[in-house]
Amino acid sequence: MTGIRIKMVSCETRSKLMHKAICVCLLAILLHPTTSSDLFRVGLKKRRLELDDIRVSRVIRKLKYSQQHPTTYQSLGDQDQVILKNYLDAQYYGVIGIGTPSQEFEVIFDTGSSNLWVPSSKCYFSLACYLHPKYKSTKSKTYTKNGKPCTITYGSGSISGFFSEDNVKVGDLVVKNQEFIEATREGSLSFVLAKFDGLLGLGFQEISVGNAVPVWYNMVDQGLVSEKVFSFWLNRDTEADVGGEIVFGGVDPAHFKGNHTYVPVTRKGYWQFNMGDIYLDNNSTGFCEQGCAAIMDSGTSLLAGPTTVIAQINHAIGAEGVVSAECKEVVSQYGEMIWDLLVSKVLPRQVCKELGLCVFGQENGIKTVVEKERSSVLCEVCEMAVIWAQTKLKLNETKEKAFEYVNQLCESLPSPAGESMIDCNNIENMPNVTFTIGGKPFSLTPQQYILKTGVGYTETCISGFSAFDLPPPTGPLWILGDVFMGAYHTVFDSGNLQIGIAEAT
C-alpha cells in the first residue's frame, strides 16, 4: 500500500518527537485508513507445467462452458487478501476453511462460475474423493442441514451432491451461514488429477446452480468488506513463493502500474464485456472491428477464442498444431511397422489396431479419460498415415518417398482447436498480440503468451491461444484466462458493474 515518508531530525527534544510522532500517526490514519495489515494472506503451492495438464485444462474449459445456464437472466473489515498458488502457471488456488473448527480446502477462485463446492464425507464411490480432504458436517458446531439435492451437469460428466450451510473462512473473513455443495460424486475429468479440492465461484448469482447465494454476495451483505470490489494479481513466475493474490474489498497498489481502464459488464452471469479489434504487431486481424463479446475468467488457463482468428494468431507466431506434431511422432515411431503391415497385406483398417494405437479400455475414471483423449488423437493420425502410405504403396513408390509425403501432409494438418506447439528458440522473433479494451491497447508479448513445459532437452513451448467455438446463445465468446490476467491486474467491481484492467507489476 502507499504511505507517507517522514524524515525525523535527531536534535528534537523527546517531548517534541513524541508530539510529532502522534501527529504523523494521526495524519497517516486520516490520509490512508486501509493498510497492508488489513490484507490477509494464505500460503500457496505450485508445480511445473506438463503438456498433458494443458490437455486436461482444455477439456475442463469445454466442460465448464458446456453447462446449461439459463438464457434469461434475473435481476438482481475493509480488505481481505488471499494469496494464491500458481499451479501449472495456469490454475491458481488458495486455502479456505469451512465449519467450526475450520476444515481446510484448497479451492480455485473462479470468476467463470458461481457456486462453492467441496468433497463430502458422504462421497463413497468416486476415486477423487479419496484423494482430497472431505467436509465432515458432524465435526462442525456451526453446520446447518439443508439437504437440497443438486447436479452440476457438464459436457461429459457431472458433479452431484446436496446443499449444506456453514461458516466459510476466506483469509480472516468469516462468512456466516454460507450455502455450498457437498459433492458426493465427482465423475468428471479434472478431479483425480487436480491439485485443488474444490471450487469457489466468483461469478454472478444468475449462473449459480440452485440459485445459491455466492460467497462474494454474502461478504458484501454481511458487511465484511467496505467496497463491492475484489481484484486479482496472478504471478506468472512459477519459481516464486507466492503464486498470486486476490484482494476482497479493494485493490493493492503494489500489484499494478498506472491507472485501470474500466469497461462495463454487458451481461450478468459471467464477467462479460465488449472487446475491440485484435492486432498482430500493428496489423489488424479484422475479426473484432465491430466488437466481440468477452469474459474475464480466472478459472481458465489459456486465452480462448473463435477458431477463425485463433488460427490466424497461431499461424503468425509459427505455432504447429499438436495433431501435426503427434502425426510426425506416429510416423517416426511406427512408420516402419505400418509399411511392413501394409506390404504383408494387412487390411488398412486393422493396421492401427495391430499397433495398439486404436484399442481403448472400458474403465471409467478421470485418468482413463485423460489417456483416452491422447489415445484418440494418436489413433486418428495413425489411420490417416495408413491411408496416405497405402496410396503411395499402390503407386509402387519407395518407402522413403512414401513417408516423405506423409510427413509433408502431417505438417499441413490444421489443429486450431487443440494445443499448438512453438519452437522455443524462436520466441524472440514472434509478434506481440494486442487486444483493444475500452478503446485502449493491451498487448501480450511472446514471453507472456507462450507457456513452457519440461526442462532441458524435454522443454516444450505451447501457444497460450486456444480455439474454442462456443455456440449461441452464450457464444461466440472470447475467454481471457490466466494468460491475459497474468499480464494485467484485474478489478471486478460488482457495485458499479465494471471490470478494471491495468499493467501488473
The SS3 of residue 440 is strand
- Identify the active-site residue in 53, 89, 197, 297: 297
CA gap 184, 486 in Å, rounded: 34
264, 412 Cβ separation under 8 angstroms: no
CA gap 393, 31 in Å, rounded: 82
92, 86 Cβ separation under 8 angstroms: yes
Residues with Cβ within 8 Å of residue 93, at least 6 apart in sequence: 44, 84, 85, 87, 106, 107, 108, 109, 195, 196
Vertex 337: Cα angle to 336 and 342 (nearest 5): 100
445, 483 Cβ separation under 8 angstroms: no
Q: How far is CA 9 from CA 16, 18, 21, in A?
A: 10, 12, 12
- Identify the active-site residue in 110, 166, 197, 252: 110
Farthest-apart Cα atoms in the chain, separation:
103
Q: Based on the residue annotation, tell me whether 297 is a catalytic residue of this protein.
A: yes
The SS3 of residue 483 is helix
Q: What is the DSSP letter of 324?
A: H
Residues with Cβ within 8 Å of residue 157, at least 6 apart in sequence: 63, 187, 188, 189
Q: Based on the residue annotation, tell me whether 38 is a catalytic residue of this protein.
A: no
Vertex 327: Cα angle to 321 and 332 (nearest 5): 130
The SS3 of residue 244 is strand
229, 494 Cβ separation under 8 angstroms: yes
* Strand 498-503 with 488-493, pairing: antiparallel
- What's the distance, Cα to Cα, between the start and end of the chain in Å? 13
Nine cell digits for residue 56: 486436461
Residues with Cβ within 8 Å of residue 198, at least 6 apart in sequence: 105, 106, 107, 108, 116, 117, 118, 119, 132, 183
Write down the H helix ranges in 203-249: 215-221
243, 482 Cβ separation under 8 angstroms: no
Vertex 215: Cα angle to 35 and 140 (nearest 5): 100
| Residue 113: burial class (beta carbons within 10 Å; 0-12, 13-18, 19+) | buried
Nine cell digits for residue 159: 458433479
> Annotated active-site positions, please?
110, 297
